[in-house]
Chain A
Amino acid sequence: MNPTSARETVVRLIGEIAPEADLTSVPGDADLRDAVDLDSLDFLTLVERLAETTGVDVPENDYDQVRSLDGLVQYLVQHAGSG
C-alpha cells in the first residue's frame, strides 16, 4: 500500500470513530489517544476496522508502533500488500 492511500484509509477510519476530531490539526507524531480522545475500546475498534479494510491485523505487541497517524501510515505501508 502506498503512503497516500494508507493515510486516506487511516484518516477515514479515525473519522468514523471520532467524527468530531479535526485530524488536519493533529501533529503526525501525536498519540491519538490524547489528540482525538480515543479510549482503549475506541483504539481496539480502530485496529479491528483496519484489519477489516486492509487485511492488516496489528498484533498487540505492535500497538506502540501505531499510536500516531504517522505510525499507522508507516505500519500499513510496511505490512499491507501492494493492493
Chain B
Amino acid sequence: MPSLGADMTEGTLLEWLVGPGDPVHRGQIIAVIDTVKSAVDIEAFEDGEVERLLVEPGTTVSVGTALAVVRADRAAPTAPAGTPGAAREPAAAGSPTTHPAVSPVVRHLAHDLHVDLDHLTGTGPGGGLTRHDVETAAAATAVGHPAAESTPPRTPPTRLRPAASGGRVQASPLARVRAEQLGVPLATVPGTGPGAAVTVGDVESAVARAAPAPPPAVEKPPAALAGPRRPAPAARTAEVRTDARREAMQAATGALMARSKREIPHYYLERSIDLAGALAWLSRHNEGRASTDRVLPAAVLLTATARSLLTVPELNGFYGDDGFTARAEVDLGVAVSLRGGGLVVANLCGAQAMSVDELMSRLKDVAVRARAGRLTSSEMSVPTVTVTNLGDQGADLVQGVIYPPQVALVGFGRVQERPWAVDGMLTVRPVVVATLAGDHRVTDGHRGSRFLTALDAALQTPEEL
C-alpha cells in the first residue's frame, strides 16, 4: 500500500485490474484503492508478471503493506485463461476487439459506467478509446441516445466462493458503509467483486440506476475538461458521497496540520515580488495562441518555485527519524482546492525539469482529475515540497502550515496592483507576495531568505524558465 499523501495512514483496496499471470509494465494501472480523499489508480512500480495477489478487494491495510507479488520477468507476456484477471478482463487476454488501445483506466471506467466497449468509436490515437469516449457514451445512454448501448453489469468472475453462512451478503466494509450512507439494502445490490461480493462501485451504480432519469436537456455530450463538475446522471449519489468524503478529508487535513504545528518549529518569511516583467513576457508568450495552449501566471510562479528550490536544497526533502534528507528532484505538491470545500495536493513529480508550457499542461491535467477524485498513485505520492496558490481572487498572502514530513511550504497570494518604487520614482506594478514557511530544525530565516531572493530573481528573467 503506497503512501498517497502525507496524511494517509491506510487505504482500502477496491479492485484489482490484473490477476495472477498477467504481465504488467511500469506505470500501468493495476489496482484501485480508496483513501479518505479519493479513489486512486495504483501504478505498477516495475515490469514483470503478477505472481500472487496478497490483499483481497474490500480489505483495509496500513501504508507499507505488500499488496501483490510481481515477478520481474522479461519473458513474453502471457495471460493464461482461467485466471481471475483474465476472466474479469477478457479484452486484456487478447480477445478480438476493434480497438487497438484500451487502457486499463478506460476499461475500468467503462465497467463502472456499464458501457460496452465493443460498441464505441475511439477518438484517441490510432482509433483507441479514451476516457472521454466512455464518458460521452455513458452520458448519451443516460439521456436515451441511441449511439451507445448500455450493458448489464459484467457477470461475476469464475472464481466463485460459496455464499457466506447466515445469509450475510458478501460485501467490502467500505461498501457496507456506503450502502448505509445511501440507504441501500445490500441484498438488493448485484455484486461484481470476487465471489460476487458487493463493491463500493456496485452500491453507487445501484443508486445511480435507481435515481430518476435526468431531463433530456443535454444536446451534446459535454467535453472532457469540464467532466468532473458537470451534473452527471448520478449527481445525487455523488453529492451524498462527496459530502461524506469532504468531511473525512477535512478531518484528515486537520489531523496532519495539528501534527505539523505540534512537531515543526515553523518560521515565516515573506517577500513582495514585482511581476511586471513576468506578466509582460507571459502576455507575449500567449499572444496568438489558441486558448488551449495558453499559460496561466500560476504556472510561471510554480516553475520559478521549482527551479529556485535547487538553490536551497535544504528546503526540498523529508524530515524523518534520522533527521533531514534532501532530494535532488523537486516533486512539487500543488494544493488544488475543490469546489464546495476541501483540498487535494497533487504531486507534479520532477517539476524542476519542466518548462513553463509543460508545467501548465500537467497542472491543467491534474487539477481536472483532482477535482474528479481521480489521481494516479504517483500524483498522490508525498511531494518533497508544497505550494499553495490562492489565485487571483484570494487573500493578499498566505502563511502556510508545512505538510510533514516536508520541511517547507511556499505560498502565493493574489496578484494585485501596488505602488512600487523604481529608481527613486513611484510607479504602479502588479505585485505578488510570496511567503515561505520553513522548518527551523533544518533551515533558518537566513537560508529561507536565499530561496525567496532566488525566486524573485527567477521571476525577473522569465524567458530563462
Kindly list chain A residues whose C-beta atoms are within 8 Å of the C-beta of B226. 13, 16-17, 45, 49
Asked if A33 and B229 make an inter-chain contact with CB atoms under 8 angstroms apart, the answer reads no
CA distance A83 to B286 in the complex (A): 28
Asked if A34 and B291 make an inter-chain contact with CB atoms under 8 angstroms apart, the answer reads no
CB-contact partner of B291 in A15, A37, A39, A48, under 8 A: A48
Instruction: Tell me which residues from 14 to 34 in chain A have a Cβ below 8 Å from any Cβ of chain B.
Output: 15-20, 33-34
CA distance A49 to B391 in the complex (A): 21
- A residues contacting the other copy or chain, number (CB 8 A): 25
Is A40 part of the contact surface with B, judged by Cβ < 8 Å?
yes
Asked if A44 and B291 make an inter-chain contact with CB atoms under 8 angstroms apart, the answer reads yes
CA distance A19 to B234 in the complex (A): 13
CB-contact partner of B230 in A19, A40, A41, A59, under 8 A: A19
Kindly list chain B residues whose C-beta atoms are within 8 Å of the C-beta of A37. 339, 393
Nearest-CB residue, chain B, relative to A31:
B393
Kindly list chain A residues whose C-beta atoms are within 8 Å of the C-beta of B201. none
Kindly list chain A residues whose C-beta atoms are within 8 Å of the C-beta of B298. 40-41
CA distance A45 to B291 in the complex (A): 8
Is A47 part of the contact surface with B, judged by Cβ < 8 Å?
yes
CB distance from A35 to the nearest CB of B (A): 11
CA distance A19 to B231 in the complex (A): 6
Is B223 part of the contact surface with A, judged by Cβ < 8 Å?
yes
Asked if B290 and A57 make an inter-chain contact with CB atoms under 8 angstroms apart, the answer reads yes
CB-contact partner of A40 in B283, B286, B391, under 8 A: B391
Q: Interface readout for A32-70 with B: 1 if CB under 8 Å, 0 if not?
A: 011001011100110111011000011111000000000
CA distance A13 to B290 in the complex (A): 18
With contacts A16-B229, A48-B292, A49-B225 taken as known, whether A60 is within 8 angstroms of B287 at the C-beta atoms is yes
Is B180 part of the contact surface with A, judged by Cβ < 8 Å?
no
CB distance from A70 to the nearest CB of B (A): 19
Asked if B223 and A33 make an inter-chain contact with CB atoms under 8 angstroms apart, the answer reads no
Asked if A33 and B392 make an inter-chain contact with CB atoms under 8 angstroms apart, the answer reads yes
Asked if B223 and A40 make an inter-chain contact with CB atoms under 8 angstroms apart, the answer reads no
CB-contact partner of A39 in B225, B230, B392, under 8 A: B392
- B residues contacting the other copy or chain, number (CB 8 A): 27
CB distance from B143 to the nearest CB of A (A): 14
Asked if A57 and B230 make an inter-chain contact with CB atoms under 8 angstroms apart, the answer reads no
Kindly list chain A residues whose C-beta atoms are within 8 Å of the C-beta of B225. 45, 48-49
Nearest-CB residue, chain A, relative to B364:
A41
With contacts A18-B339, A37-B339 taken as known, whether A47 is within 8 angstroms of B291 at the C-beta atoms is yes
Asked if A40 and B296 make an inter-chain contact with CB atoms under 8 angstroms apart, the answer reads yes
Is B146 part of the contact surface with A, judged by Cβ < 8 Å?
no
Nearest-CB residue, chain A, relative to B218:
A12
Kindly list chain B residues whose C-beta atoms are within 8 Å of the C-beta of A16. 222, 226, 229-231
CA distance A18 to B297 in the complex (A): 22
CA distance A10 to B337 in the complex (A): 24
CA distance A19 to B287 in the complex (A): 31
Instruction: Tell me which residues from 282 to 310 in chain B have a Cβ below 8 Å from any Cβ of chain A.
Output: 283, 286-287, 290-292, 294, 296-298
CA distance A33 to B290 in the complex (A): 21
Is B340 part of the contact surface with A, judged by Cβ < 8 Å?
yes
Kindly list chain B residues whose C-beta atoms are within 8 Å of the C-beta of A57. 290-291
Q: Interface readout for B219-237 with A: 1 if CB under 8 Å, 0 if not?
A: 0001101100111000100
Kindly list chain B residues whose C-beta atoms are within 8 Å of the C-beta of A40. 296-298, 391-392
Kindly list chain B residues whose C-beta atoms are within 8 Å of the C-beta of A19. 229-231, 235
CB distance from A16 to the nearest CB of B (A): 4
Asked if B296 and A41 make an inter-chain contact with CB atoms under 8 angstroms apart, the answer reads yes
Nearest-CB residue, chain A, relative to B222:
A16
Instruction: Tell me which residues from 348 to 383 in chain B have a Cβ below 8 Å from any Cβ of chain A.
Output: 363-364, 367
CA distance A15 to B298 in the complex (A): 24
CB distance from B292 to the nearest CB of A (A): 5
CA distance A51 to B286 in the complex (A): 16
Sample of 17 A–B contacts (CB below 8 Å)? A13-B226, A16-B222, A16-B231, A17-B229, A18-B229, A19-B231, A20-B340, A34-B393, A37-B393, A39-B337, A40-B298, A41-B296, A41-B298, A41-B364, A44-B291, A44-B296, A47-B291
Closest 7 CB pairs of A and B: A16-B226, A39-B391, A47-B291, A48-B291, A16-B230, A19-B231, A33-B393
17 extra A-B contacts, CB within 8 A, seeds A20-B339, A40-B297, A45-B226: A13-B226, A16-B230, A17-B226, A18-B339, A19-B229, A19-B230, A33-B392, A34-B393, A41-B298, A41-B367, A44-B291, A48-B225, A49-B223, A51-B290, A51-B291, A59-B287, A61-B283
